[in-house]
């Protein structure tokens, strides 16, 4: 049985006792030279208030020592000059405590942008439900919830080693980045598997592995050309977080006389008619009873979260961040948070979960948006929920009505004028919080699921797919909500009767959907037109949809037929753009040549993707 990872390194995390005084936690765990971000070290233990702090070695200088409201915290601001191991001496009267702190040289990151961008496709994994590579850590003595694969809302045992074991599968599929839902310690007594109720911001949950294994996972991903995105949650912690027993300040979290939940009304951020009360409840109310709401207006907390994000980027060599429940945070501090991270890592991408609509409200959160109130989020990317909703609605029916079917997708893409750069939006058909696309499409038809894949992997934006989407996973029991859609990946556990990581064990339907995804993914990976090309789309009201992604180097033509009838491609409708390109292209789904001058029938519930070159 593994011990909690935060007990492994005595140098950083030991407990030093002396006559009722102690140091039990120091965060961040370490730091680096050459950082733009100033370093404030938080000491926590027993009776640390008013202690005199000094450093025995040269190379690290104390600027200021501050008490908190709790007598058990000290905030120490330091200047970092040289790498080394430094000894902090905390003195109170004749009592002395020593603590060793590590400063390393900053990592030399590539000069080129190594973050995720429109050239990538993100593979989203819920680690507990993906693969169990180390059954010995399914439960530990230092965590509450134990593994139970039959529990819809319980832990099933997936872990970091399970992801490492299947990195080749992900790379072969054609994805180029991995986003894991949170891997940090979540020690709630129930439903801790999702990780969104953090109990320790600096340590991986021991049921997933430990910090070193996470670092190994990133290294192994990079060897296979896979980028790694960390899911961060500054809006709330878990009720089981260690500081909930002894807050540094009473305003460290938002507190009310009685439990007060957020009103979830994002529009209060930009609504000129909104009351201050509604805005306050939106950003200060709790997300859930087990998720205390953090107060980023507290400057020490904002500094803590800024250092936290930078620490993980530097420690693990991350490629990007995804921020959960972004608009629930106080928006000005979060803007400062994004700016600080981007100052430290100018090329790093951060995508915010902005689960709202219409597109005008999503666009408000883009960095450098032309907002009437002058607000700049400094957030490089946002999640395109309006298009996700339109896509799901389009494929969940036969397209009845004037504005039904794929016309909904056309209408959503028509809102691109609202965005500063729609090519930076994160696009998706579903994630760990939504219904699976396999469940959403009419009659759960796999052909419709393939249409969703064609849209996802050829439209503008940064595509993100949910694990198992490539095999048309369905929810185990939709009545169980999130617990039902977050299904285990068959073959990820020992003694599973079927292993879908193995192509030989898939049925014909599963392999057909997989091949469709894999073909599109590997085409997209090497096609700059789909990364940065503009979009020109064409309206029809017969449940078909046609568009070109194009540059001055060529074009990719996409035609989708979501109707129950065969359709002829109306090439004459596309003359304004087709005149620029050679009339003969290649259908990347079949490898056959396509002549735009000849009639071509697209069967019901199918699509075609054609690459056209410019004339030589």
Q: Please, what are the domains in the chain? A: 5-104 (2.60.40.10), 534-613 (2.60.40.1180)
Residue-level pLDDT at 616: 63
Cβ–Cβ contacts within 10 Å for residue 315, how many?
Answer: 19
Residue-level pLDDT at 479: 82
Query: What are the tens digits of pLDDT across the range 120-170?
Result: 999 999 999 999 999 999 999 999 999 999 999 999 999 999 999 999 999
Q: 313 CB contacts (<8 Å, ≥6 apart)? A: 230, 321, 341, 344, 345, 348
Query: What are the tens digits of pLDDT across the range 512-566?
Result: 999 999 999 999 999 999 999 999 999 999 999 999 999 999 999 999 999 999 9
Q: Residue 275 burial by CB count (10 A; 0-12/13-18/19+): exposed, middle or buried?
A: exposed
> Which candidate in 117, 324, 439, 470 is catalytic?
324
Cβ–Cβ contacts within 10 Å for residue 302, how many?
Answer: 21
> Strands 16-18 and 21-27, how do they pair?
antiparallel
> Which candidate in 134, 159, 283, 353 is catalytic?
353
Query: What are the tens digits of pLDDT across the range 186-211?
Result: 999 999 999 999 999 999 999 999 99
> For residues 39 and 22, what is the distance between their CA atoms, to the nearest angstrom?
22
Whether residue 69 is predicted with pLDDT greater than 50 in this model: the reply is yes
Query: Is 297 an annotated catalytic residue?
Result: no
> For residues 202 and 36, what is the distance between their CA atoms, to the nearest angstrom?
20
The total number of residues shown for the chain amounts to: 616
Query: What are the tens digits of pLDDT across the range 323-379?
Result: 999 999 999 999 999 999 999 999 999 999 999 999 999 999 999 999 999 999 999
Query: What are the tens digits of pLDDT across the range 21-45?
Result: 899 999 999 999 999 999 999 999 9
Buried b (16+ CB within 10 A) or exposed e, 226-236: bbbbbbbbbbb
The pLDDT mean for the chain works out to 95
Q: DSSP alpha helices (H): ranges in 32-85?
A: none
Whether residue 297 contacts residue 253, with contact meaning beta carbons closer than 8 Å, is answered with no
Distance set, CA 294 to CA 235, 237, 243, 328, 395 (Å): 6, 7, 12, 10, 39
**What string of DSSP letters covers 191-245?**
SGGG--S-SEEEEE-TTT--HHHHHHHHHHHHHTT-EEEEEE--SB--TT-GGGG
Query: Is 527 an annotated catalytic residue?
Result: no
Query: What are the tens digits of pLDDT across the range 441-471?
Result: 999 999 999 999 999 999 999 999 999 999 9
Residue 106: pLDDT band (50, 70, 90) is very high
Positive/negative CA dihedral, 523, 525, 529, 535: positive
> For residues 263 and 285, what is the distance between their CA atoms, to the nearest angstrom?
7
Distance set, CA 593 to CA 544, 583, 586 (Å): 22, 10, 5
């Amino acid at each position: 049985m593994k011990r909690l990872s935060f007990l492994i390194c005595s140098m950083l995390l030991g407990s030093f006792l002396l006559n009722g005084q102690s140091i039990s936690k120091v965060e961040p765990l370490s730091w680096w030279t050459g950082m733009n971000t100033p370093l404030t070290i938080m000491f926590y233990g027993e009776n640390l208030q008013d202690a005199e702090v000094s450093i025995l070695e040269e190379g690290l200088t104390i600027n200021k020592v501050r008490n908190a409201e709790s007598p058990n915290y000290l905030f120490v601001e330091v200047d970092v000059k040289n790498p080394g191991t430094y000894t902090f001496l905390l003195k109170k009267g004749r009592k002395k405590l020593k603590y060793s702190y590590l400063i390393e040289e900053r990592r030399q990151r590539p000069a080129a942008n190594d973050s995720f961008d429109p050239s990538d496709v993100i593979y989203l994994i819920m680690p507990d439900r993906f693969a169990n590579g180390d059954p010995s850590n399914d439960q530990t003595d230092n965590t509450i919830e134990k593994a139970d694969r039959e529990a819809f809302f319980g832990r099933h045992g997936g872990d970091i080693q399970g992801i490492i074991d299947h990195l080749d599968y992900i790379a072969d599929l054609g994805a180029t980045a991995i986003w894991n839902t949170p891997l940090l310690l979540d020690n709630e007594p129930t439903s801790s598997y999702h990780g969104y109720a953090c109990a320790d911001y600096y340590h991986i949950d021991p049921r997933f592995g430990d910090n070193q294994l996470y670092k190994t996972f990133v290294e192994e991903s990079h060897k296979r050309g896979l980028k790694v995105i960390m899911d961060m949650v500054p809006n709330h912690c878990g009720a089981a977080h260690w500081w909930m027993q002894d807050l540094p300040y009473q305003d460290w979290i938002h507190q009310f006389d009685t439990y007060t939940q957020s009103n979830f009304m994002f529009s209060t951020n930009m609504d000129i008619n909104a009351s201050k009360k509604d805005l306050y409840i939106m950003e200060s109310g709790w997300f859930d009873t087990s998720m205390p709401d953090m107060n980023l207006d507290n400057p020490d907390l904002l500094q803590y979260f800024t250092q936290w994000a930078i620490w993980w980027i530097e420690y693990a060599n991350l490629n990007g961040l995804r921020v959960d429940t972004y608009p629930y945070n106080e928006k000005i501090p979060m803007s400062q948070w994004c700016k600080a991270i981007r100052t430290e890592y100018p090329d790093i991408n951060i995508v915010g979960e902005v689960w709202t609509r219409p597109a005008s409200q999503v666009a408000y959160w883009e960095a450098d948006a032309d907002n009437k109130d002058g607000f700049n989020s400094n957030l490089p990317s946002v999640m395109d929920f309006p298009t996700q909703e339109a896509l799901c609605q389009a494929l969940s029916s036969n397209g009845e009505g004037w504005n039904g079917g794929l016309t909904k997708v056309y209408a959503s893409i028509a809102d691109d004028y609202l965005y500063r750069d729609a090519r930076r939006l994160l696009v998706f058909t579903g994630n760990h919080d939504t219904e699976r696309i396999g469940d959403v499409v009419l009659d759960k038809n796999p052909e419709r699921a393939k249409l969703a894949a064609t849209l996802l992997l050829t439209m503008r934006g940064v595509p993100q797919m949910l694990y198992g989407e490539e095999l048309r996973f369905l929810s185990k029991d939709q009545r169980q909500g999130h617990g039902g859609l977050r299904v285990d990946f068959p073959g990820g556990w020992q003694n599973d009767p079927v292993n879908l990581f193995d192509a030989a064990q898939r049925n014909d339907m599963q392999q057909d959907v997989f091949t469709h995804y894999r073909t599109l993914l590997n085409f997209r990976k090497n096609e700059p037109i789909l990364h940065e090309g503009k979009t020109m789309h064409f309206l029809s009201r017969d449940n078909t949809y046609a568009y070109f992604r194009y540059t001055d180097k060529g074009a990719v033509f996409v035609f989708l037929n979501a109707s129950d009838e065969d359709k002829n491609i109306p090439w004459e409708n596309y003359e304004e753009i087709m005149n620029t390109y050679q009339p003969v292209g290649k259908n990347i789904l079949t490898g056959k040549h396509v002549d735009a001058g000849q009639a071509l029938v697209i069967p019901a519930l199918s699509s075609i993707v054609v690459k056209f070159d410019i004339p030589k």
